[in-house]
């Protein structure tokens, strides 16, 4: 199984970090192909808890080569801080590779992210404020700064001048902020070159050569399908392709090399930030899910919005990503409910709709049509075989599998590395 893609099926925080970590010891490379330090992955290893943002979760596994590929936007200071924090805890971070073509996030991207959100008022996206959108906007606008640019001072100065030319007018005249000096940014970036240089590589070449040699490469998506800039709930999305197609453009490894697509999906649903969310709960059940599932953002600490499992969303993900296997996480969180509602379709203006509607307005006021499944009271955290799960938990999984468009190959029963039930080998 040479190249495997792992992505989020819902609105993020499905437990991708844990799923990657689970496969860690069996893969040679783990590649982050989209997003930046807007991601927040919590991985629990024994008594140790790690929160990763910019680094792929594979960095926690000895021997794995972590790769930040071209599709990522890199805040270099954040990168160094994260590396230092992991080194201080004894994690070997020496193998990290960073694509020469990845774009950088600078101080002006962070500033613009915050001021544009403020200007949007009640139309706010609720971004993480990390400069992600403005950095990708510059990339598409062809005024971005790439990692390779910081190694050529002349080019770097020219590019920063070009990027700041319009932005300073905008910052001063529209947003009432101070102008940012070209030299300030150039000096900042030049200060990173020495430490960064040994990590920089032609990562497309490295990964394709590794695949030629029969090595296993895991592509780890940040964010998730419903936050994808093309396929998500636009404009309430992130600015990159978080779906499986993004793994190819974001890494320079062709789609025909990717043999399996694993989607991580929570046994219920959460979302951080604004935008439609049909199964959202505004009552005490929503509070209960948030409390039981510790649903607070790993990156911003914001309480996550919570709701029941949405099967049309899972089916949509299966279609867009070509999902071969689901990893269903946080089943243990649902313990204690008498019955568990699962959305099987929507009611849109009195009409039953079985798939995620293409019209965003329809999705905004789609009302879930629920089926009530029997709950269970047993603690699931000790289950390691499917047959260890109580009958109604097994039935819950089987019903979700039937509704969601691909087999459920693994089931999370707790945050710990070994708290998982594997039904089908994810790499075989």
Question: Residue 246 binds which entry of ligand GDP, Mg ion, ligand IMO, none, with Cβ cut-offs from 5 to 8 Å by kind?
Answer: none
Q: Kindly identify the residues of this chain, within the stretch 264-293, that bind ligand IMO according to CB under 6 A.
A: 272-273
Binding to ligand GDP by residue 36, rule CB under 6 A?
no
Q: Which residue has the tokens 């600490």?
A: 301
Out of 41, 53, 103, 231, which one is annotated catalytic?
A: 41
**Count of chain residues binding ligand GDP (CB under 6 A):** 21
Binding to ligand GDP by residue 16, rule CB under 6 A?
yes
Binding to ligand GDP by residue 304, rule CB under 6 A?
no
Binding to Mg ion by residue 13, rule CB under 5 A?
yes
Using DSSP's 3-state secondary structure scheme, residue 356 falls into coil
Residue by residue, DSSP assigns 84-145 as HHHHHTT---TT-EEETTPEEP-HHHHHHHHHHHHHHGGG-----SSSHHHHHHHHHTT---
- Smallest gap from Cβ 300 to ligand IMO, in A, equals 7
Q: Which is nearer to ligand IMO, 2 or 273 (CB)?
A: 273
Question: Is 169 assigned a catalytic role?
Answer: no
Which tokens hold the place of 359?
Answer: 């019209």
Question: Is 152 assigned a catalytic role?
Answer: no
Closest CA to 45 of 94, 89, 96: 89
Q: Kindly identify the residues of this chain, within the stretch 318-357, that bind ligand GDP according to CB under 6 A.
A: 329-330, 332-333
Binding to ligand IMO by residue 133, rule CB under 6 A?
yes
- Smallest gap from Cβ 212 to ligand IMO, in A, equals 30
List the 407-412 sheet strands across, edge first.
200-201, 97-99, 65-68, 29-32, 217-220, 3-8, 258-266, 325-329, 407-412, 420-422
Greatest CA span in the chain, whole angstroms?
A: 67
Closest CA to 262 of 417, 422, 407, 415: 407
Binding to ligand IMO by residue 263, rule CB under 6 A?
no
Q: Which is nearer to ligand IMO, 61 or 116 (CB)?
A: 116
Binding to ligand GDP by residue 22, rule CB under 6 A?
no
Dist CA 267 CA 245 (whole Å)? 24
Question: Residue 133 binds which entry of ligand GDP, ligand IMO, Mg ion, none, with Cβ cut-offs from 5 to 8 Å by kind?
Answer: ligand IMO
Dist CA 50 CA 415 (whole Å)? 12
Binding to ligand GDP by residue 414, rule CB under 6 A?
yes
Q: How many CB atoms lie within 10 A of CB 20?
A: 29
**Interface residues toward ligand GDP, by CB under 6 A:** 8, 12-18, 40-42, 44, 298, 329-330, 332-333, 412-415
Residue positions annotated with a catalytic role: 13, 41
């Amino acid at each position: 199984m040479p190249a495997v893609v792992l992505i989020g099926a819902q609105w993020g925080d499905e437990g991708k970090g844990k799923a990657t970590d689970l496969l860690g010891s069996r893969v040679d490379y783990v590649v982050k192909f989209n997003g930046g330090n807007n991601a927040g992955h919590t991985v629990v290893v024994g008594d140790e808890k790690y929160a990763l943002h910019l680094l792929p979760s594979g960095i926690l596994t000895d021997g794995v080569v972590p790769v930040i590929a071209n599709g990522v936007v890199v805040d270099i200071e954040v990168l160094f801080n994260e590396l230092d924090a992991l080194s201080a805890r004894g994690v070997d971070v020496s193998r990290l590779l960073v694509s020469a073509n990845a774009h950088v996030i600078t101080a002006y991207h962070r500033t613009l992210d915050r001021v544009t959100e403020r200007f949007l008022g009640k139309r706010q996206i609720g971004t993480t404020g990390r400069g992600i959108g403005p950095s990708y906007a510059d990339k598409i606008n062809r005024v971005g700064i790439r990692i390779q640019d910081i190694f050529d001072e002349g080019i770097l100065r020219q590019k920063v001048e070009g990027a700041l030319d319009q932005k300073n007018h905008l910052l001063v005249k529209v947003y009432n902020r101070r102008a940012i000096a070209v030299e300030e940014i150039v000096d900042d970036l030049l200060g990173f070159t020495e430490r960064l240089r040994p990590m920089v590589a032609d990562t497309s070449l490295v990964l394709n050569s590794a695949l030629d040699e029969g090595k296993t490469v895991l592509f780890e998506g940040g964010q998730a399908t419903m936050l994808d800039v093309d396929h998500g709930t636009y404009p309430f999305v992130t600015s990159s392709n978080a779906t499986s197609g993004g793994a190819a453009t974001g890494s320079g490894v062709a789609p025909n090399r990717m043999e399996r697509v694993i989607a991580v999906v929570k046994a219920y649903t959460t979302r951080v930030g604004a935008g439609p969310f049909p199964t959202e709960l505004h009552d005490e059940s929503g509070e209960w899910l948030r409390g039981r599932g510790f649903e607070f953002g790993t990156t911003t600490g914001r309480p996550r919005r919570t709701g029941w499992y949405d099967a049309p969303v899972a089916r949509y993900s299966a279609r867009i990503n070509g999902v071969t296997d689901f990893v269903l996480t946080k089943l243990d969180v649902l313990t204690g409910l008498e019955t568990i509602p699962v959305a099987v379709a929507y009611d849109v203006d009195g009409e039953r709709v079985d798939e995620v509607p293409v019209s965003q307005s329809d999705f905004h006021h789609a009302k879930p049509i629920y089926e009530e499944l029997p709950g269970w009271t047993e603690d699931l955290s000790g289950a390691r075989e499917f047959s260890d799960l109580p009958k109604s938990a097994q039935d819950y999984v089987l019903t979700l599998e039937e509704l969601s468009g691909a087999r459920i190959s693994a089931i999370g029963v707790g945050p710990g590395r070994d708290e998982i039930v594997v039904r089908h080998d994810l790499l075989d």
